[in-house]
Structure formats: structure tokens, C-alpha cells
Amino acid sequence: MSATERAEGAAKTESSGPASRRGPIRWLPARLRAARMETRLARTLVLDVPGWSGHAPGQHVDVRLTAEDGYTAQRSYSVASPSAQDQVELTVQRVQGGEVSTYLTEIMLPGDQLEIRGPLGGWFQWTARIRGPVLLVGGGSGVVPLMAMLRERVRSDSSSPFRLIYSARTPDHIIYTSELHQMGQTHPDIQISRLYTRSGLPDDTREPGRLRIEDLPPPGNEITEGPSRVYVCGPTGFVEHAARLLVDRGYRSSDIRTERFGS
Amino acid sequence: MHEDNDHRVDGNAAAGILREVFASDVTTARVVCGHCTAGTSVAETKTYLAGPGSILRCPGCDAILARITKIRDTVWLDLSGSASWQIHTG
């Protein structure tokens, strides 16, 4: 997105807070305290992590598994929970043939251990210090870091209006379905929009299909305040499609922050 | 993030390995391409994670900006494709 900007523009950063913590990064042992299935494929893991000192919503962690024979496998997962001491919640969606996600969603039991390091990533994060309306656009399990932002928005004293556009294959693929419904019902400043790419609900007025320009709210102008910050997360193809639509809709590319994962 | 590590992601996914080398998060750093001179945040680079190495490419012209390879306790950092890195330290 910002590749077309020239080099003179100063990088915008959110300094201070956990993201800017300095010094060497360490792997911390983490123990599974509890787990719950969110959909048929997605599982939330509640991990006890002694020494974890919190994170900013949107950040991720590296997870490392070590087998008895010493074989290790490492992946990155977004944190789903708002910041907390000594505890981290991840929501992992099983990828077909994925050795790490299959272990985390189907095999790992409470009491089992793994290692995590983080929090990672200062670019894709929101904190209550950032003022102004926020638009979140998530595809599939890309909703996970956006959920951390929504949960922080609810928990904090922020009054920033939030709008979530959540694209999933079918209603059965919606993660956090009841919590999202409740957020939308109880917070007038939080608006949740679900859209389906394969098949929706019987009374949907929108035809199933990938994200379209009319699914996106217009940016603000001199009279109406629109989103001052847009976060997009999902598979690479989804993120690039969404980012193009947002620019076509009139959003400034410098206001759009993206995070892609594979496939 | 997540799996399918042979596919293209973005620089957010390299935050962990970069954090092993740099004293602070550099996904917010601004990197200038040595080939086309466009500037971008490290988070927005085209990133390929494969085996022991990560490759960061310019989203504008596809030139390689950085190669980061870890072998046991050593990280090999090749930044020869980038003209500069502007790193916020505050």
C-alpha cells in the first residue's frame, strides 16, 4: 500500500507500551489452563504464562512446540484477549495438513505445555490512546486480532466508534458468534456486520460472495466523521482485495494497516 | 501468520526473528528500497518464510530488501537490497 509513498514521509508509530519494550526476547513456558471450541475448526486456548507482562491488542506471539525427540515447529498466532498479566488467549483455526494447528486444536490437553515469545509487532495494534472511529475488516480467522481490539474497546474507557466487517464462508464459520452479537446489542457505538462468501442465512438480503465495495462504509468527510484508522486482517488474497476496495472507496492508504497470513 | 509458511505473508510475520536481532520492534520501521527508492513500513513488505530463512521484498517493485537466515545460534542478516532503515527507538 504505502510503497508508492516516497521515502521522505516519516514513519508513524505508536510508541510506549508493551510493544516498545526493549531488551532481548525470551521464550516463556506456557501451560494450557482451559480450551473451548469456537467453531468446528477453531479453538481458543487459555494459557498461563508466568512472566508475561501484557501486550497491545492486535499483537501476536510466536509459538514453539518441541517433541520428545527434540523436533521443533514454530508458528505465529494472534492474541485474542486484551492485555493481562501472566495469561494469554489464542484462537487457532485448524489448517488442513497443518501439524501445529492440528495439535493445538485437536490434541493439546489442559496441563500440556508449549513455549511462546512476544508480544510481537508494533504496526498492527490498537490501544485506547488512539482516538477516533475505527473500521475493522476481517476475513476468516483474521478476526482474531480484531477481536482483541474490540474486547479492549469494551473494557477501556474509550468512546471510539468501532465497526467490524467480518467475512466468513458460512454462519457456521463465524468465531465468537455470541460475544459479537452481544457486543453489537449492548454497545451503541459498536456495529458488527457479518457477510458470507459461500452461503448465508435464509433472510439475508446480501447475496453470498466475496467482499464488495458496497459492503464497506464510506470514509468520513468534513461533515461526518468517518474511520480514522482501518485494520484489515486475513489470508493474503483477502487482505489485498479488501485494501484495494478500501482505496477505491476513498480511504487513504496511509490510514489502512494490514496483516496477512498464508493461503 | 498462522501456517502455510511457504506462501507470501507480510513483514508482521517476521517480527519474531527481527526481534532476535534488533533491540526494539522494527515492523514499524520505514525501509527504503535500494532499487526503486520507494519507502514502506517493514510490516507492509512482501514476506516469504521458508525453512531457516525469511525474505522481505519491496511491495512496489518486488526487489529483495532483506534476507534473514537463522542457523542454530547465528542470524545472518543481508540488508544489501535496502538503501536505509529508519527505526523509531522512543
Contact A259 B25 (CB under 8 A): no
CATH architecture of the region A24-120? Beta Barrel (2.40)
- CATH fold for domain A134-261: Rossmann fold (3.40.50)
Q: Looking at residue B90, what is its pLDDT?
A: 74
Question: Does A159 contact chain B (CB < 8 Å)?
Answer: no
- In Å, how far is B13's CA from the nearest CA of chain A? 7
On chain A, the residues whose CB falls within 8 A of the CB of B40 are: 2-3, 5
On chain B, the residues whose CB falls within 8 A of the CB of A42 are: none
Q: Looking at residue A22, what is its pLDDT?
A: 59
Among residues 22-41 of chain A, which lie with CB inside 8 Å of chain B? 22-23, 25
Question: Does A15 contact chain B (CB < 8 Å)?
Answer: yes
Can you give the C-alpha Rg of chain B in angstroms? 12
Q: Which residues of chain A have pLDDT under 50?
A: 1-20
Which residue among A15, A259, A262 sits closest to B4, beta carbon to beta carbon? Answer: A262
Which residue among A3, A10, A13 sits closest to B38, beta carbon to beta carbon? Answer: A3
What values do phi and psi take at A84, rounded to 5? -150, 155
Residue B25 in domain: yes
Please state the three-class secondary structure of A58-78 as a single string.
CCEEEEEEECCCCCEEEEEEE
Q: How far apart are CA A246 and CA A242, in angstroms?
A: 6
Tell me the per-residue pLDDT of A180-225, one tens digit each, with 9 for 90 and over: 999 999 999 999 999 999 999 999 999 999 999 999 999 976 566 7
Question: Does A117 contact chain B (CB < 8 Å)?
Answer: yes
Contact A120 B44 (CB under 8 A): no
Question: Does A3 contact chain B (CB < 8 Å)?
Answer: yes
Residue of B nearest to A232 (CA): B44
Q: Which residues contact A14 (CB under 8 A, 6 or more apart)?
A: A56, A122, A125, A127, A129, A130, B28
- In Å, how far is A85's CA from the nearest CA of chain B? 20
Contact B19 A141 (CB under 8 A): no
State the ipTM, two decimals.
0.90
Per-residue cell: A228: 480514522
**In total, how many domains does chain B have?**
1
Question: Does A19 contact chain B (CB < 8 Å)?
Answer: yes
Domain map (residue ranges) of chain A: 24-120, 134-261
Tell me the per-residue pLDDT of B39-61, one tens digit each, with 9 for 90 and over: 999 999 999 987 778 999 999 99
Which one is predicted more confidently, B63 or A16? Answer: B63
Place of cell 526476547: A25
- In Å, how far is A237's CA from the nearest CA of chain B? 10
Q: Give the strand pairing for A60-66 and A162-168.
A: unpaired
Q: Find, among A137, A185, A186, A128, the residue nearest to A159 by Cα.
A: A128
Residue B1 in domain: no
3-class SS of residue A40 = coil
On chain B, the residues whose CB falls within 8 A of the CB of A236 are: 7-10
Range of the structural domain that residue B21 is part of: 8-86
Residue B3 in domain: no
- Give the angle A103-A123-A232 at the CA atoms, nearest 5°: 70
Q: How far apart are CA A76 and CA B28, in angstroms?
A: 18
Interface test with A, best of B25, B37, B49, B61 (most A CBs within 10 A): B25
Peptide bond preceding A29: is omega within 30 degrees of 0, i.e. cis?
no
Q: Looking at residue B3, what is its pLDDT?
A: 46
Tell me the per-residue pLDDT of A103-118, one tens digit each, with 9 for 90 and over: 999 999 999 999 999 9
Among residues 62-91 of chain A, which lie with CB inside 8 Å of chain B? 62, 75-78
- In Å, how far is B64's CA from the nearest CA of chain A? 14
Quote the strand ranges of chain A, DSSP E.
28-37, 42-48, 60-66, 72-78, 87-93, 113-120, 134-139, 162-168, 190-196, 229-235, 256-261
What is this structure's pTM? Answer: 0.91
Per-residue cell: B74: 547465528
Q: How far apart are CA B18 and CA B24, in angstroms?
A: 9
Q: Looking at residue A3, what is its pLDDT?
A: 38
